[in-house]
Structures are given as C-alpha cells and as structure tokens.
Amino acid sequence: MPSFVDSNALKISIIGAAGGIGQAMCLLLKAQLHTLIPNDANSDPKEMNMHIHMALYDVNNDAVRGVATDLSHIDTPVTLSSHSPNDAEGLRDCLIDTDLIVVPAGFPRKPGMTRDDLFIKNAEIISGLADNIAAYCDMSKIFILLISNPVNSLIPLMGQRLVHHHPSSDIERRIMGVTKLDIVRASTFLHQLSITDGIEKRTNNMPEIPVIGGHSGDTIIPLFSRAKIYPKLSRAQIKYLIHRVQTGGDEVVKAKNGQGSATLSMALAAHKVVMKFSSLLLGLRKSIHGIYYVSLWSHSKNQPICSDSNILIPLIDGCKYFAIPVYINKQGTYAIEYQIIEKMADFERSSLLPNSISKIKANIETGLAYSRQ
Ligand code: NAD
Ligand code: LMR
C-alpha cells in the first residue's frame, strides 16, 4: 500500500464495499479514478506524481477480500487494499490517513418498507462507524459521503456523534448525504417522457433537473419548472414526473421483490459524486458545486455553517438540514445557493416545499434523539 505521507496521494475509504452498491461503485471507481490525473508531459510534475488508493472495508470478511482481489486485476494505476473485522485492526487500517470516506454500509429496503423503517438497524451501524471515524481520522480535513438510508436522519446522527467526540471540530461542513440518484432519475425520467410523448426540446443533451429537500418520498422536491430545454411541459406531465422521482426507489424495490433496492444506478450516481470530490481533494479544482443533503447549522459552534445559512434557514421554516446546491472547497461547504428557493415556481413552493420541510424536521429529530442516547 502506498505511503500517504505524500501530499499528492488521495486515500478513499469505502465502508460497506462488498454490498450491492459497494461492489458496483468500486468497479466504476477502480476503472475511472485515474482519468482525473493529467497524464501529458506538459503537466505540472506534482500532478504527474499523484496517486489514488481505495481502502475497502466490509463486515463480510470473505466477500470484501474477494472483491478487492478481483478488482486489483483491473489494469489501472489505482491501488487497493481490503479490510475487515477478521484483521486485527481492520477498520482502523481502512480509516487511518484517509481523505474521503464513502458509506454504502447498511440494510436495504424490502417491499412494504419505508426508508424510515431502516432507521434503528442502520443507526446502530452509522453510530458505531462515527465513533471509529472520530478515533482514527483527522477531523480537520476528512470528507464523508453518506449513502445509507434513511439519509434524512442518519446525516444529523453522524454529525452529532462526531461533534460529541470533537466538540470544537467543523466536521459538519464536510459530511454530505448523497441524493444524486434523485437527480439522475429526474433527468432520465424526463428524457424518457420526452421520447414517449414526443415533447419538443431545444437541445439533444440530457436535461439537468435540480432535486432538493430530502431523500425519501415527498421530502424529495424535483424542480421540473427548471426544465428549460423542454419549454412545453404540461402541468400533468410535471405532476407525473414529480411522482415518479419521489417513488423511483419504490419502483426498484418492487421489481427486485425482496432482493434489495437500487444498487447499479446508485453506484453510478455515487461514482459521479466521488469523482467530483476526488478532483477537489487532489487539488485539481479549488471548488466544486453540487446538490447534497447538508447541515446548514454548525451544532458544535452553535452558528450558521456559512453566512448564506442565515438567509436559507428562514426560507425553509427553520429546517437545519436540507439537500440544496452548495459550493464546497477543501474546508467544506462555504456557500449555499439559497436563491433556488426564491426562484421556485408557485406550485412547487406552495405544495411541495411545506410537506417536505415538516417531514425532514421530524426525520432530523429522530437522528438527533438517537445521538443523544
Ligand atoms: P447491501 O446489503 O447489498 O450492502 C450493504 C453492505 O454493508 C453489505 O456488504 C454488508 O455486509 C455491509 N455492512 C453491514 N454492516 C456494516 C458495518 N457495520 N460496517 C461495514 N459494512 C457493513 O445493501 P445496498 O443495496 O448496497 O444498500 C446499502 C444502503 O444504501 C442501504 O441502506 C440502502 O437503503 C442505501 N441506499 C441509498 C441510496 C441513496 O440514494 N442514498 C440509494 C440506494 C440504496
Ligand atoms: C433509492 O432511492 O433507490 C434508495 O434510497 C433505496 C430505496 O430504499 O429506495
């Protein structure tokens, strides 16, 4: 395993790497991460010496060893290591010196369950993981991307566990709930509808639809009023699309009929997010922009996460966690695109927003109450 004393190295720790999402995401990352690094002779020599390491951890000992060995035969320069509770210091070795922790660990839904039904089991996993992160990681620099459900409650829970161990840390600026799959779905479902309904469009690019709020049912707020390349979307079509994005997860759970939830589309969505954060952490970009479920308030410092929180929090009725476009640098969230709320169409603001906010607030309280136990 390479030494991570080298400031040009990026270590990514994947917790739950042997699961449905974990395996497919690791495949995409092993195949693609190195493409971020410039490889032409005119590049900055510092960039030429960059390397990336993926540390895979799972409680399923044999599976994670097998996945890492299998992936290690793929001909890219990204290096790999495998860690499990079978190793004396499995989780510690995976987490030590890491820059980015990606968490698809936890139980997936079965038909008839809501994401909230996963809370008790997955809260135990995430809270144990948070205690280990607090013990082994550099709280002043790590980023955490949380995929496990229910995201709306587990982000507050993880943030509070870490702050409990490190009361003066600003870690809440660097913990992101991954809601990218909702954005991927919004884009895909609109494109599909445009073909079946023959909707007139202005370009052949895939549409980019912001999806804000939370990641469950009607906490998910897809903003199809922003579908500028489809100027003639009808109200009925928009209503159909909103419902389809809000129930996209159920569609897969139902189709898999007891064999889990979305894994491949989620792996693709997570891969897009990890690529972006990797370019930031390698120093190839000074800042990145994207929609994540973030804390708007630093509970450790009892102050806004950044000055834009002061504008956003009243706009969303005092809600302190929300999926919203944010600007992120190596220190974490530094600006929030709160204007997206001001620009919402009337029907989005009056019918989608209040419902989402009241449910997210309840989900946040569930996470915070657990962390206080
Ligand atoms: P899975 O059961 O296939 O994989 C989960 C993996 O986590 C397993 O390999 C398991 O051994 C591992 N694991 C369990 N406890 C662990 C621990 N303490 N430490 C490390 N690893 C542990 O499930 P999946 O389909 O990959 O889904 C994982 C999670 O992601 C679920 O909670 C699911 O609801 C969620 N999910 C979120 C989104 C999203 O958009 N955010 C999308 C899809 C799924
Ligand atoms: C999804 O949106 O597909 C995930 O959150 C998994 C689920 O339980 O629906």
Q: Which atom of ligand 1 is nearest to the CA of 115?
A: 34
Is residue 63 in a domain?
yes
* Count of other CB atoms within 10 angstroms of residue 164: 16
**Pairing assessment for the beta strands 303-304 and 297-298 based on DSSP bridges:** antiparallel
With a 6 Å cutoff on the Cβ, whether 253 touches ligand 2 is yes
Identify the CATH number of the domain in which residue 152 sits.
3.40.50.720
Q: Whose CA is nearest to atom 5 of ligand 2?
A: 249
Place of tokens 């995430």: 126
Residue at a domain's end among 178, 197, 227 = 178
Q: Are residues 88 and 109 in the same domain?
A: yes
Domain membership flag for residue 332: yes
Asked whether residue 65 is assigned to any structural domain, the reply reads: yes
Q: How far is CA 38 from the centre of its chain?
A: 26
Ligand 1 pocket check for 122: Cβ under 6 Å: yes
Considering the domain architecture, whether residues 164 and 191 belong to the same structural domain is answered as no
Note whether 205 and 158 are same-domain residues. no
**Contacts (Cβ under 8 Å, ≥6 apart) of 214:** 151, 152, 179, 220, 293, 322, 323, 356, 359, 360, 363
Q: Among residues of the chain, what percentage have pLDDT more than 70?
A: 97
Specify the 3-state DSSP secondary structure of 241.
helix
Integer Cα distance of 63 and 308 in angstroms: 44
Nearest Cα residue to atom 38 of ligand 1 = 147
In tens, the pLDDT along 309-352 reads: 999 999 999 999 999 999 999 999 999 999 999 999 999 999 99
Domain endpoint, select from 110, 145, 178: 178
Average pLDDT for 41-52? 78
Binding positions for NAD(+) are: 16-22, 58, 122, 147-149, 266
- Ligand 2 within 6 A of CB of 219: no
Residues 138, 183 within the same domain: no
* 2 inside domain: no
- Residue of higher predicted confidence among 208 and 261: 261
- Report the pLDDT value the prediction gives residue 167, as an integer from 0 to 100: 93
Q: What is the pLDDT of residue 2?
A: 44
Q: How far is the CA of 371 from the centre of ligand 1 (A)?
A: 20
Is residue 19 in contact with ligand 1, taking CB distance under 6 Å?
yes
In the reported structure, the alpha carbon of residue 250 is separated from the centroid of ligand 2 by a whole-number distance in angstroms of 7
The ipTM, to two decimals, is: 0.99
Question: Residue 196: what pLDDT?
Answer: 87
| 361 CB within 6 A, ligand 2 | no
164 is catalytic: no
Specify the 3-state DSSP secondary structure of 228. coil
* Count of structural domains, the chain: 2
Determine the atom of ligand 2 nearest the C-alpha atom of 181: 2
Q: Are 162 and 291 in contact (CB under 8 A)?
A: no
Catalytic residue among 53, 215, 271, 299: 215
- Greater confidence (44 vs 333) lies with 333
> Which among 161, 178, 195 is the end of a domain?
178
In a domain, 173, yes or no: yes
Do 231 and 112 fall within a single domain?
Answer: no
Percent of the chain with pLDDT over 90: 85
Which whole number is the average pLDDT over 248-273?
A: 98
Q: Range of 215's domain?
A: 179-373
Q: What pLDDT is attached to residue 233?
A: 86
**Which one of the ligands is nearest to 118 CA?**
1
Residue 267 Cβ inside 6 Å of ligand 2? The answer reads: no
Whole-model pTM over 0.95: yes
